[in-house]
Structure formats: structure tokens, C-alpha cells
Amino acid sequence: MDIPAIYAVFKGGEVKAAPVKFDGADISFLSEPVRHTYSAEGADDRMPVLVVDVKGLGKGELDDRLLTGMRFPGSDVWFMTRILDIEDVFDCFMEDIAKVLMPYHAVRNDRVISEAYEVSENCIPVLFVLKGKAVCRGGGTKDLRAAVAELSKTGFQEIVVLDTDSSVGSEEWTALNDRYEGLIPFLRKEDGSAAGIGFRTIIADL
């Protein structure tokens, strides 16, 4: 299953979107966001779409206006925003959100990850990757496989690995897929490093 990622913001009374750039864990728009046109209405099956809260990730708190204002007919919305504590998770699920994606480096502490797992199976931790290593709280990095192993011990069946700079090669993706059945690569546009390896789900820039 391929899931498109839309980088969005609520601006001028509507949801707008544009391509982004990553600087480690920091994210910003490459151009002025414009009204989004994505719709899966009329498709045979409902398919997920990932909405990335660019303002929330940049400002440090989820964008309430985006959360309540977005509409993607025909799609089940996965929503990635900055989750600081468990209250943020509850706020997301008050809307029609199928899954909440939580950047690991942004949570207050590891207890938040454990609480999210206990609250809902529809929470998914996200490891941002920079130069082949996982970004941790405080801006440090650690070995990607070690970081995935630690999160899997919490009990999560699904873990997203967001390759911000396309630094994860096919050999590393293969090793991760062999060990973690529910691992989900999140790739930048035209990055085909995880293709053909056998992942059940891949997220990629629209």
C-alpha cells in the first residue's frame, strides 16, 4: 500500500499545501502553500492519506485549525504533528483521524510513548533520520536499528522511519524489513530506495 504525504497548513480560511525541505528535524515550506486539490473521492476503496502539520512541527504545538478544518473526501486521514504529551493524542482523536503519527524526538519523554501505546493501537511513533541515524530528543542522533529496536520493545507493531535526506540505503531498508514486519518507510519524492523490498506500506511525498 502506497500512502501519499501532503504537507499542509491552514491559512486564509482553508487548507493549503506545498513541498517542504528538511533540515534535520526542522521542516519548512519550499514555496508559498496553495489550496490543496487532492481527493480520492470516487475510488473503489478508501485509502489513507498522510497530512503533515508543517506549522505544528515548526512551532512546537499542533495546529488546531488544520486539525478541525481539513477535509479529504474518500480518504482515511493519518495525521502527523508534534505530540508533546498524551493530551495532544486525545486532541487528535477528537476529530476524524484514523492514525496519529508522533515524531519521537518531539515527545516530552519516553513515558508519553508508552502511554500512547496503551491509549490506542492507532498511534504510530515516527523516527526522523538524518545522515543515516535516528534523531533523538535534544537534537542528538543514534544508530537507526538500535532506535527501532527500542521502540519495538514498547509494543508498537507499526513504526514509521522518515528518511529526511534519503540517506537510508536499500541494504538498510532490507535489514529493517527482515526484522520488523510493521515498519513503514516514509520517503521523499522520487526516492526509490525502499521499492521492491517487500514493505507492506510505504509513505511517500505526493
- What average pLDDT score do residues 170-174 get? 94
pLDDT above 80 for 40: no
Who contacts 130 (Cβ-Cβ below 8 Å, separation ≥6)?
Answer: 24, 25, 141, 164, 165, 167
pLDDT at position 190 is 81
93-114 pLDDT tens trace: 888 889 999 999 999 998 999 9
Using an 8 Å Cβ cutoff, are 88 and 60 in contact? no
The residues spanned by each domain of the chain are 2-205
Over the chain, what is the mean pLDDT?
90
| Of residues 21, 54, 56, 15, the one with CA closest to residue 38 | 15
Q: What percent of the chain has pLDDT over 70?
A: 97
Using an 8 Å Cβ cutoff, are 206 and 47 in contact? no
pLDDT at position 45 is 66
Query: What's the first-to-final CA gap in the chain, in angstroms?
Result: 14
pLDDT at position 69 is 85
Could you tell me which residue, 109 or 206, shows the higher pLDDT? 109
pTM over 0.75: yes
pLDDT at position 100 is 94
Confidence class for position 9, pLDDT limits 50, 70, 90:
very high
| Of residues 122, 106, 129, 187, the one with CA closest to residue 156 | 122
Query: Which DSSP helix (H) or strand (E) runs through 55?
Result: helix 54-59
Span 2-205: which CATH code? 3.20.20.70
- What average pLDDT score do residues 162-174 get? 94
pLDDT above 90 for 41: no
13-25 pLDDT tens trace: 899 999 999 988 8
Q: CA–CA separation, 197 vs 62, rounded Å?
A: 34
Which ranges of 60-185 does DSSP label H, i.e. alpha helix? 64-69, 86-93, 110-119, 144-154, 170-179
- What average pLDDT score do residues 123-131 get? 95
Q: What percent of the chain has pLDDT over 90?
A: 62
